[in-house]
Amino acid sequence: QKQQMSNSSSITQFLLLAFTDTRERQLLHFWLFLGIYLAALLGNGLIITAIAFDHHLHTPMYFFLLNLSILDLASISTTLPKSMANSLWNTKAISFSDCAAQVFLYLFSMGGEYFLLSVMAYDRYVAILQPLHYETLLGSKGCVRMAVAAWGSGFLTALLHTANTFSLPLCKGNALNQFFCELPQILKLSCSDSGYLRAVGLVMLTAFFALSCFVLIVLSYVQIFRAVLRIPSQRGRHKAFATCLPHLAVVSLFLSTGIFAGLKPHSISSPSLDLVVTVLYSVVPPVVNPLIYSMRNQELKDAIRKVVS
């Protein structure tokens, strides 16, 4: 029972306990996740290729969308392949270092994505409300700086949470009731009250920053829609809505699932509900984002058609 000792250094591996009751369900889970993963690879891959090779799309909006697709691919590639491998080979184990790497990479991509969604709202705000200043505020240098800030904030968030979580003494076994190494599940294994409170404090601080970004996104969209409704031509209004609504849909999906996962009361918590909620916030956005962005956007559709043909 080495795993039960009072220090996290004694844990050599964690057990991921989802989808493991019957062989049929394991294989069903494997094929389902494989389909979802391939859809995410295809959708985001097409967007990345289309934006990279079509010079018409070398604008700030598409540059940020390219970064978003890369982060989407990073986040889903961190969680699904290991889970699929476990189901296929009928195992539950993930090593301590792999688990730490998974937590870090997942938080890195999610943190970067959230900051990037805020930057994309700012891009739409300037494009519609201050079109004359667009080139100066969002020139190539400005865009690169903002992208670096997004990736940097994701890196910093991930580093803080990972270093803090894996320095806690973990003595409540090594079973995680999830299909990947999810931060709250690891914190449940901690037996240090002060360490646990420090981790929760860090989560609250991150949530505060996320909420601040969300308020800025909402405020910028209120201004955007007020301005759009004042545009006299129907075509102008339609074009403005076509570039803003997909972004708003992606932000809403990303936030509503994440907030529900973090704030759902314990009274309605059950392993199966936890699992569904986690799939909603970790697996669904990377698959759905490419669809949302390309549905209303003719320029992107044309570029993707070129890539496919």
Per-residue model confidence as pLDDT tens digits over 152-178: 999 999 999 999 988 888 888 888 888
Enumerate the H helices of the chain as residue ranges. Answer: 23-53, 60-88, 96-129, 134-137, 140-165, 183-187, 193-229, 234-263, 271-282, 284-295, 298-308
pLDDT at residue number 244: 80
Model pLDDT for residues 180-192, shown as the tens digit of each residue: 998 888 888 888 7
Its pTM surpasses 0.85: yes
pLDDT at residue number 276: 80
pLDDT at residue number 100: 94
Model pLDDT for residues 235-285, shown as the tens digit of each residue: 878 877 777 888 888 888 877 777 777 666 666 767 777 778 888 888 888
Model pLDDT for residues 98-110, shown as the tens digit of each residue: 999 999 999 999 9
Which architecture does CATH list for 17-308?
Up-down Bundle (1.20)
pLDDT at residue number 182: 87
* Helix/strand/coil for 94: strand
Kindly tell me if the per-residue pLDDT of 5 is higher than 60: no
pLDDT at residue number 6: 43
pLDDT at residue number 37: 96
Would you kindly state where each structural domain of the chain is located, as residue ranges? 17-308
Kindly tell me if the per-residue pLDDT of 205 is higher than 60: yes
Whether the CA torsion 198, 201, 205, 211 is positive or negative: it is: positive
How many whole angstroms separate alpha carbon 209 and alpha carbon 106?
18
Strand partners, 94: 14
State the average pLDDT over residues 39-53: 94
How many whole angstroms separate alpha carbon 179 and alpha carbon 18?
5
